[in-house]
Structure 1
Amino acid sequence: MPLPIAVFWERSDVSGAEHALLEARDGLYAQGTLLAAAPVPFACRYEVQTGPDWATARLDVRAEGAGWARAVRLELAAGRWRVTASEQGDLDAELTRNGHARAGLPGCDDPDLLYGAFDVGLGGSSLFATLPIRRLGLLDSSEAAAAGVSHRLSVAWVLVPSLEVVQADQIYTPLGDGRVRFADETTSVDLICDDEGFVADRPGLARRVTASA
């Protein structure tokens, strides 16, 4: 069945875009595509499923470019993440040809490092910020959404284009008026969100594009 909602973001950090088709009535199910020209030109397709509480249950990602392709799957089973990965071709050759460092291997050597992560993230994607925002109710009229109250999270973070999976600490702080401050080890930005918690503007990464009348 066709998914009822389409969202499109234009990248501001590199030439690229993100397009997602989704259903969000009982948790989130989404299929999306990331396109980026750097560090090497690649396409990244993802499928993500959460439970009704917006905690992530499964993520499938496939990235491919000239002479290479990689895939990774994350599944939550009995409270622990199961991570499987595959690769074809030589991403490192393409990276070094373009003056970049070699990539890490796809997947995660020790999935136990991801224990306690209720959310997944995908590098370069604006959609995935919605998962903790909705799971924690940061735009609701609730105690969790009180302006200035910070929430520190452990996230299973998928790097692109390598598809290496790492544990990442992130902080989300609701500011009111549809704004949520996102911070990690290197970044602090104020996300502007719509009423459903989807990012309209993520400074330094992407801005949502809507159809013209």
Structure 2
Amino acid sequence: MSKARILLVDDEPDILEMLSYNLEKEDYKIETATNGLDAIEKAKSFSPDLILLDIMMPEMDGVEVCYQLRENDQFADTIIAFLTARTEDFTQISALEAGGDDFILKPIKPNVFKSRIKALLRRNDKKDAKKEKVKFKFGPLVINTEKYNIRLDGKKIKMAKKEFELLLLLTSSPGKVFKREEILRKVWGREVIVGDRTIDVHIRKLREKIGNDYFKTLKGVGYKFEF
């Protein structure tokens, strides 16, 4: 199982260095940001499983960052915890109302900090277990089989039914080469007669809507989804 991706956001370099050091020892994948605006941009490209936000930051505070992230469907299920030295009720209430999941109080003790991170990620694992048959996530690409929709970087992508079914088949086994005969059978069915170019046209449409990098062609064989 791959280790979680964690985005650390704090305007104090010493704190970022300490947190990164302790989490990288646990083999987590770490990205950092020193202000709220940078945090939002890095979150979009890094697609973290967990975001640790300092509340007091220049340009945009952590509460506002959380608000903006929660407005984007890409981060609907991302755990967001706040790093703060402030214990006032109104601060914590504002952070929770913005969509925060938890708090980690400063000063931070490394062993306690690592235990809290593991506990937060276990909470996310339980959520994922309930949703694993409904939602599939490949970085910024999110496929929701229950709602029958696709989002890329938080934006909904319109797709025809067969485009969606073809994407769902290819993403069911990333890296596997699906032969043309298998694709026709599973997406269009044995009883439906379609032209030889049907698969190629639908792959082209997927590339136009999602991007070229996800789909690879093996000439004369079939297609595969890579992530």
Higher-Rg member (1/2): 2
TM-score by length of 1: 0.26
TM-score by length of 2: 0.25
More relative contact order, 1 or 2 (CA 8 Å, 6+ apart): 1
Return the structure number with greater helix share.
2
